[in-house]
Structure 1
Amino acid sequence: MNAPSAGPHQPFAPSRVIVDDATDQALLERLRNGDREAFAELVIRYQRPIYNAAFWILRKPEDASDVAQTVFLRVAERLDEYDDRYRFFSWIYRIAVNESLNLLRRGGREEVLDDEGDLPGAERDDPESRAGDAESAARVRGAVLRLSPGDRMVITLRHFAELSYEEMGEVLEIDQKTVKSRLYEARQRLRAMLEDLRPH
């Protein structure tokens, strides 16, 4: 089964993951019964959040697009490995996180920071209405992108994907206490970085 394209380097807007276990399970059942349209529907449901999660870890649109494509290929290849006692979104997010970190590890990939805001949610329509908070938003984006991959990952899952601590624990395969500890430390580093970037 071929995965539909995740789209070339599309800067999707950050979006909350709307978890609907019943819909996911219905789509998976259709997929197991050979319904190819069900796979396309899964891609549509998860394409944007998977791309976003990968982008905020990798910082490069082309790499995030590659990871999103790979994630859906992995889903198609490994569907038999999915245990439906667990949430599908946790499984697919775990694949996305692992693929993103694997890409960072391979060959010492150079991370390029695009200060022009080639970022999810960096639409340029109606600039006047955005002028008031544009500078602040740019500082936050710049600071997040300068964090370590691990810090970017927990910040992304909590503040961009808006996962609960329980959901983050499922994705990262750690307990909630560890989730909270990692998130606290990442937020502290982000705050310190924002102070450094604050105009004086």
Structure 2
Amino acid sequence: MEEEIQWIQQVLSGNKDAYARIINKYKNQLYATILRMTKNPQDAQDLVQEAFIKVYHQLDKYDGKGSFSSWIYRVAINHCMDEFRKKRYKMMQVEIHEEKVVNPNNPEVIFLKNEKNRQIERLIATLPEDERIIILLRYVNELSYIEISELVDLPLSNVRNKLHRAKKKMRDTVKCGGGYFHELSNG
């Protein structure tokens, strides 16, 4: 966190190289989050670039009270939500390719992991946008409930309720389809 504060101060003093460090630290995480929101790699790239431009122009507004990562996610997600509203964005389904697993000796394990990930992606895609974002922030980006609450500008109790409802919908969908995930069985 202190390193980020130094980078921010350097950027605000005119050092553009320091901003490159911020981008390098967060670009993959933001891209993964936005890709799961848009389901379109090109749109996700564009939105990430636009979000980083917005972050750059709003960097002086970061007050240091919360974590910088929460702040940068909030700016990026708010930018995406604004774009979705403007364009009445239609979510498109595309296959998200998993990283290649290094262990070629266990093809069954690789297949099962990939199939499970694809099914989870499909389940998440069926959720309403607000619940989908909260699920992604919690389980993909591993943010705390408090960080999510700040990011989406909802009371903590609403975040917990939306997360609970989203997991229940996903469980119900899996049970109706004859599948079962242990991860979804625990409330």
| C-alpha distance in structure 2 between counterparts of 1:195 and 1:104, whole Å | 31
Number of aligned residues = 176
| C-alpha distance in structure 2 between counterparts of 1:151 and 1:175, whole Å | 14
The structure-2 alpha-carbon separation of the partners of 1:189 and 1:199, relative to structure 1 and needing over 3 Å to count, comes to: closer
> Is residue 68 from structure 1 mapped to residue 48 from structure 2 by the alignment?
yes
What is the deviation of 1:199?
A: 5.5
Q: Residues 122-161 of structure 1 correspond to what in structure 2 (within 5 A)?
A: 122-125=98-101, 128=107, 129-161=109-141
Q: Which has the higher contact order (CA 8 A, sep 6+)?
A: 1
Higher helix share: 2
| C-alpha distance in structure 2 between counterparts of 1:177 and 1:113, whole Å | 31
Whether the 8 Å CA contact 2:135–2:166 is kept in 1: the answer is yes
Aligned mate of 2:30, from 50, 56, 65: 50
Q: Residues 30-179 of structure 1 correspond to what in structure 2 (within 5 A)?
A: 30-114=10-94, 117-119=95-97, 122-125=98-101, 128=107, 129-179=109-159
Taking structure 2 as the reference length, the TM-score comes to: 0.84
Contiguous gaps of at least 5 residues in structure 2: 181-187
> Match of 1:123, as an amino acid?
E
Contiguous gaps of at least 5 residues in structure 1: 1-20
| C-alpha distance in structure 2 between counterparts of 1:78 and 1:54, whole Å | 19
> Match of 2:2, as an amino acid?
A
Q: Percent identity?
A: 24
Aligned mate of 1:180, from 143, 160, 173: 160
Residues 16-68 of structure 1, C-alpha deviation per residue, up to 9 Å, x if partnerless? xxxxx212111111111221111000000110111122122222212211111
The structure-2 alpha-carbon separation of the partners of 1:196 and 1:99, relative to structure 1 and needing over 3 Å to count, comes to: farther
| C-alpha distance in structure 1 between counterparts of 2:11 and 2:141, whole Å | 26
What is the deviation of 1:185?
A: 1.0
Aligned-residue CA RMSD (Å): 2.0
Secondary structure of 1:93 counterpart: helix
The structure-2 alpha-carbon separation of the partners of 1:196 and 1:138, relative to structure 1 and needing over 3 Å to count, comes to: farther
Taking structure 1 as the reference length, the TM-score comes to: 0.79
